[in-house]
Structure 1
Amino acid sequence: MAKTFFKRHWLTLLGIAIGALGGFLYWRFVGCTTGTCPITSSPVNSSVWGAIIGGLLFSSFRKEDKVSINK
């Protein structure tokens, strides 16, 4: 069951991982110097938002499953 899940959603999971890494790196090197920015002031917030954006972006490249309708 888990093997089929990873096989079906590997591109989205890759996008989540890359987005989380990108969000963390953005916090680390750019971030918010004053601490008042709601997203970039915390590494957790920045990583979560990066993971969401990465997952959404990479999932948009997934091919749709072809479903045949037999009448």
Structure 2
Amino acid sequence: MKFLAWIGTGLGAVGGYLYWKEIGCITGTCPLKSQWQTMIPIGAYFGFVIGDVVKGFVMPGKKSEDTAEPDK
């Protein structure tokens, strides 16, 4: 179910670009919103976090693949 985090990352990156393109900062003095190079990674980060949270709701009782103990 790691794909939910990756899908969230991709959607967040697209969302960051669209936010910069449509809303952004008109004057260019806003340090975060004035450049697409900063908005895409920020959007991707938030998309990853939201995708990871959604993954937790979809599979609440299952341990994460990353933290599962190996079989002995």
TM-score range, shorter chain: 0.7 to 0.9
Name the residue aligned to 2:49: 56
3-state SS in 1 of match to 2:54: coil
Q: Residue type of the partner of 1:61?
A: V
Name the residue aligned to 1:12: 5
Query: Which structure 1 residue ranges, 4+ long, deviate > 3 Å from structure 2?
Result: none
- In structure 1, the gaps of 5 or more residues are 1-7
- In structure 2, the gaps of 5 or more residues are none
Correspondence 1:23 to 2:22: no
May I ask how many residue pairs the two structures share in their alignment? 61
Name the residue aligned to 1:44: 37
User: Could you state the TM-score of these two structures normalised by the residue count of structure 2?
Assistant: 0.75
Name the residue aligned to 1:65: 63
Alpha-carbon distance, 1:65 to partner: 2.2
Counting aligned pairs with the same residue, the percent is 33
Alpha-carbon distance, 1:37 to partner: 1.1
Q: Residue type of the partner of 1:21?
A: V
| Counterpart Cα distance in 1 of 2:17 and 2:10 | 11
